[in-house]
Chain A
Amino acid sequence: MWAAVRKLRDHELWWHFTRSPLAVGSAGLVFAFVLGALTAPWLAPHDPFDPARVFLADAFLPPVWVEGGDPRFLLGTDDQGRCVLSTILWGARISFFVGVSAVAFSAALGTVLGITAGSVGGAYESLVMRAADVQLTFPGILVALLIGGIARTLVPPALLEAAAVWVVVASIGIAGWPQYARIARAVTLVETSKDYIAAAQVMGLHPVRIMFRHLLPNVIGPISVVGTIGLALAIVSEATLSFLGVGVPPTTPSLGTLIRIGNDFLFSGEWWIVFFPSLALVLLVSAVNLLGDWLRDALDPKLR
């Protein structure tokens, strides 16, 4: 355990990290969000999904520091009397879950397709990479909308409520794979031209074994950088889909759902219902993005 900590401390990446205030700041912010999202059931001052605890009488209360604010609700309440702070914590939980799952899905799909395309070559490679090119000509959100639409017609209506989150994960996930496939293929092409792969071939190792033991470890680094930046994108995509009403159902509100609900009250004076979820989304996405950018620069020796 201590050996691992010491190894991390001595690692070059850690050295770069401690010397970049931006990286430390955004990492701190992301960490706070992750912690808040994970501990929402305990941390949130209220349970916004327990009908027995939500009272319409508390609706439209402004934040505490505004006149008419209620000390029980730090950031005010929404139209149904739910605590805005609590809904943000729960919403971030959903956003994170969808974002991480979608990135894991597209990274896994893209990596498998990219590595196999790079090492098999031929018509298979052309097919995979042209499919990636074609998909990249459409905006990702459009692809996600399309896949979500198809999925919703395929899933039986009875299951739709339960499966809604997974439909969002799948549609964002499928929309994102070409990025990962391109990188995985590029790394594979570079590495297969090196002689240690030839040495493994001379040993008669099965191609699949070479992929897992030699190629995959090389692909993981660049993929994780793109994945970090992709996480920000996935969270925004989820928010967009939910804002458009084709994302997660309103009973399990994500940040996007909250913004959609709040949007109705933007011009009637209850600004806080939309402002705080939006602020949370902007902060979260910027922090994840900055962290991803830093990671890319730190891992890329050419930019150092």
Chain B
Amino acid sequence: MSAPPLVEAFGLEKRFAIARPWLARLADRGRGRFVHAVAGVDLAVPRGRTLALVGESGCGKSTLARLLVGLLLPSAGRIRFDGRDLDLRLGRRAWAPVRRRIQMIFQDPYASLDPRWRVADILAEPLEAFGLVRSRGERRERVEELLRQVGLSPADGQKYPHEFSGGQRQRISIARALASRPDFLVCDEPTSALDVSVQAQILNLMKQLQEELDLTYLFISHDLAVVSVMADVVGVMYLGRIVELAPSKELFLRPRHPYTRLLLDTVREPGRRGRLPLAGEVPSPIDPPPGCAFHPRCPWASARCRGERPELEPVGEAHAVACHGVEEGRLPDPRGAPVSSPCAAP
């Protein structure tokens, strides 16, 4: 954890206007309504490590990912990459100096590759966009190297995406992201569309590549078990905010925030029936509850929780929680993730 962070964000926010035709907006003089998809997030991704963001749909984790790669422009806040602030006043061009070094892997392997292009051309696109190859021969060599790097054969370059299975397509997607030799990969649910046996292949590949190429990952997932395998640091998000941030081991051993505890209780593994889960669902981000956004589902909510929003406060070494209950010490002791029966497989 001593490595200086590669990517940092300070007070990052993203508001979306609720889409309405401009004529309708004109009619009520532009009093737009907004969704606060990301409502003030501070984070730091340590170099060569993996920061995972975990949360349910609508928690803003995918929006946060897209803010960091420059697919969306933040409404407020700062982003710092490798010690230098991006000049966000430039809009998308703010990313120009770091474009090559920040790449992304997407969730849906069927939508993230242009179906009309051969794999070799898909992989060559970033090479050409960044001017990384000078001749056709160099281009072919680099494409073949990329294919081998992700466990495909050079001959696969001549095929089209539809000739591959979901897992193989995700390999192609990873190869494309690696083409420009980036330092930072944003991975938005890279395995949630895959079957478990294929998921294991992709997760192993990503770990191996991280080691070989010294990559820094921001790993977005809704699956705590996947996160526990991949992450060095975990941020738990709820309705646009990080409610708990801790080193992976610490978080799974001593979860503090009630929402983290809820998520851990819902984890099902074969051979373990899981605890009886909390009732309720994530409220709509259009109209989040006042105070602590989690209070309507929280068994320990007090009057303070209903009125005052808790800030992320340190509770230990590198462990921070946004919860009045934790701060006041009125929550029961955390029970960690139940250690499952030893793996049945050899």
Give yes or no for direct A-B contact (beta carbon below 8 Å): yes
Q: Among B23, B112, B180, point to the contact of A196 (Cβ < 8 A).
A: B112
Distance (Å) between the CB of B126 and the closest chain A CB? 5
Residue A199 at the chain B interface, CB threshold 8 Å = yes
Whether B130 lies near A198 (C-beta < 8 A) is: no
Whether B108 lies near A203 (C-beta < 8 A) is: no
Residue A194 at the chain B interface, CB threshold 8 Å = yes
Q: Among B106, B113, B130, point to the contact of A203 (Cβ < 8 A).
A: B130
Residue B120 at the chain A interface, CB threshold 8 Å = no
Whether A205 lies near B112 (C-beta < 8 A) is: no
A-binding segment of B83-91, B95-103, B319-327: B95-103
Give bound CA distance, A200 to B126, whole Å. Answer: 8
A126-B22, A194-B111, A194-B112 given; A199·B129 CB < 8 A: no
Per-position 1/0 for A196-208, Cβ under 8 A of B: 1011111111000
Most buried by A among B70, B112, B114: B114
Q: Among B100, B108, B126, point to the contact of A195 (Cβ < 8 A).
A: B108
Q: Which single residue of chain A is at the shortest CB-CB distance from B21? A: A126
Q: Which single residue of chain B is at the shortest CB-CB distance from A125? A: B22
Residue B144 at the chain A interface, CB threshold 8 Å = no
Distance (Å) between the CB of A285 and the closest chain B CB? 33
Inter-chain contact count A-B, CB under 8 Å?
A: 54
Distance (Å) between the CB of B324 and the closest chain A CB? 38
Give bound CA distance, A123 to B25, whole Å. Answer: 12
Whether A217 lies near B116 (C-beta < 8 A) is: yes
Contacts of A296 in B (CB 8 A): none
Residue B176 at the chain A interface, CB threshold 8 Å = yes
Whether B180 lies near A203 (C-beta < 8 A) is: yes
Contacts of B129 in A (CB 8 A): 203-205
Per-position 1/0 for A175-202, Cβ under 8 A of B: 0000000000000000000111011111
With A126-B21, A194-B112 given, can you name 17 additional A-B contacts, CB distance below 8 Å? A194-B111, A196-B113, A198-B66, A198-B104, A199-B106, A199-B112, A199-B177, A200-B125, A201-B70, A201-B71, A202-B69, A202-B102, A204-B96, A205-B125, A205-B129, A217-B116, A218-B116
Residue A214 at the chain B interface, CB threshold 8 Å = yes
Residue B50 at the chain A interface, CB threshold 8 Å = no
A204-B99, A214-B114 given; A195·B107 CB < 8 A: yes
Distance (Å) between the CB of B133 and the closest chain A CB? 14
Whether A195 lies near B99 (C-beta < 8 A) is: no
Q: Among A198, A217, A218, point to the contact of B106 (Cβ < 8 A).
A: A198
- Interface size class, chain B: 20 to 34
Contacts of B108 in A (CB 8 A): 194-195
Whether A198 lies near B71 (C-beta < 8 A) is: yes
Distance (Å) between the CB of A13 and the closest chain B CB? 15
Contacts of A218 in B (CB 8 A): 116
Most buried by B among A123, A194, A196: A196
Contacts of A203 in B (CB 8 A): 99, 125-126, 129-130, 180
Contacts of A199 in B (CB 8 A): 104, 106, 112, 173, 176-177
A123-B22, A196-B112, A217-B116 given; A202·B71 CB < 8 A: yes
Q: Which single residue of chain A is at the shortest CB-CB distance from B112? A: A195
Give bound CA distance, A195 to B190, whole Å. Answer: 12
| 14 A-B pairs with C-beta separation under 8 A | A195-B106, A195-B107, A196-B112, A198-B66, A198-B106, A199-B104, A199-B112, A202-B69, A202-B99, A202-B103, A203-B180, A205-B125, A205-B129, A218-B116
Give bound CA distance, A204 to B69, whole Å. Answer: 11
Contacts of A217 in B (CB 8 A): 116
Give bound CA distance, A214 to B112, whole Å. Answer: 12
Q: Which of A99-139 contact B (CB under 8 A)?
A: 123, 126
Contacts of B71 in A (CB 8 A): 198, 201-202
Q: Which single residue of chain B is at the shortest CB-CB distance from A218? A: B116
Q: Which single residue of chain A is at the shortest CB-CB distance from B66? A: A198
Whether A202 lies near B104 (C-beta < 8 A) is: yes
5 smallest beta-carbon distances between A and B, as pairs = A195-B112, A195-B106, A194-B111, A204-B99, A203-B129
Most buried by A among B23, B108, B112: B112
Per-position 1/0 for B50-71, Cβ under 8 A of A: 0000000000000000100111
Distance (Å) between the CB of B194 and the closest chain A CB? 15
Contacts of A205 in B (CB 8 A): 125, 129
Q: Which single residue of chain B is at the shortest CB-CB distance from A198? A: B71
Distance (Å) between the CB of A217 and the closest chain B CB? 5
Contacts of B125 in A (CB 8 A): 200, 203, 205
Distance (Å) between the CB of A198 and the closest chain B CB? 6
Q: Which of A64-109 contact B (CB under 8 A)?
A: none
Most buried by A among B69, B129, B173: B129
Contacts of B116 in A (CB 8 A): 217-218
